[in-house]
Amino acid sequence: MTFDLYVWHEPRDLDADEAAAMLESWHAAGADPSQSPFEPTTDVGWFYRELKQDAPGLEASTDAVPRESTAPIWLAGSDEAPARMVAIRVPQGAAGDVIDEIYSLAMKYDLVLFDARNGRIHLPLEEMSEYASATFWPRGAIQAAVAGLAGGLIAIVAWTLGIPVVSGLVALAGGFMFVMAVFTFVHEGRKARRRR
């Protein structure tokens, strides 16, 4: 394979051997990104646009056609054109920051990342979710409890002060923090019970 990393959105249920076989046949057919066997989506287009802004020297092949704009990504008013995949060649001795940037963008857009160098499929968003759940107890639980208790306390104090409008908004924000902490404990508690 001529590239080191491949990023796409669908199909997600491939194992490493199936992905490698699919990419081998794509390379044998000429490696035209617009003819790749993956589903087009705007998430891949956004991924490529951000990648080129964050790592402009990185060599990549794609069917994405990014809009030329000097505005930051968060100010973009229209979607990027759909794209099927991005194939990336990682320079020899590339800093870990480059790999981290690719991985974090794939996580941001919930994309599949195939590392042809070691033959592994990554689903960065799922891997991050698993890591967050695995490390929730006890440090994350303590942080959630503190945030929930602080939110509940803020809501009670704001409600008892009774300042028009301000108390209502602050009580709403504090109540939201409390409810989210409760939901976090319920969610992580169910996951921990399923793992047993």
The rounded distance, in Å, linking the Cα atoms of 101 and 111 is 13
**Of 74, 100, 123, which residue is a domain's last?**
123
pLDDT, position 97: 82
pLDDT bin (cut points 50, 70, 90) of residue 192 is confident
Q: Is residue 103 part of a domain?
A: yes
pLDDT, position 132: 86
114 and 19 within one domain: yes
144 and 119 within one domain: no
Q: Is residue 13 part of a domain?
A: yes
75 and 41 within one domain: yes
Residue 1 reports pLDDT greater than 70 = no
pLDDT, position 171: 93
Residue 56 reports pLDDT greater than 70 = yes
101 and 56 within one domain: yes
Instruction: For helices 96-108 and 124-134, give the axis angle rounded to 10 degrees.
Output: 90
**Of 70, 92, 123, which residue is a domain's last?**
123
pLDDT, position 7: 93
pLDDT bin (cut points 50, 70, 90) of residue 138 is confident
139 and 109 within one domain: no
Total structural domains in the chain? 2
Q: Is residue 130 part of a domain?
A: no
**Whole-prediction pTM value?**
0.74
Bond from prior residue into 11 cis (ω within 30 degrees of 0) = yes
Q: Is residue 36 part of a domain?
A: yes
Residue 137 to residues 130, 132, 174, 183, 193: CA-CA distances in angstroms?
13, 10, 24, 15, 12
pLDDT, position 3: 81
Q: Is residue 147 part of a domain?
A: yes
Residues in Cβ contact with 55 at an 8 Å cutoff, skipping those fewer than 6 apart? 98, 101, 102
Q: Is residue 104 part of a domain?
A: yes
Mean pLDDT of 135-142: 88
Q: Is residue 128 part of a domain?
A: no
pLDDT, position 135: 86
Beta sheet of 5-8, edge-to-edge order: 59-62, 85-89, 5-8, 112-115, 120-122
pLDDT, position 95: 67
61 and 143 within one domain: no
Residue 74 reports pLDDT greater than 70 = yes
Q: Is residue 129 part of a domain?
A: no
Give the domain range for residue 176: 135-195
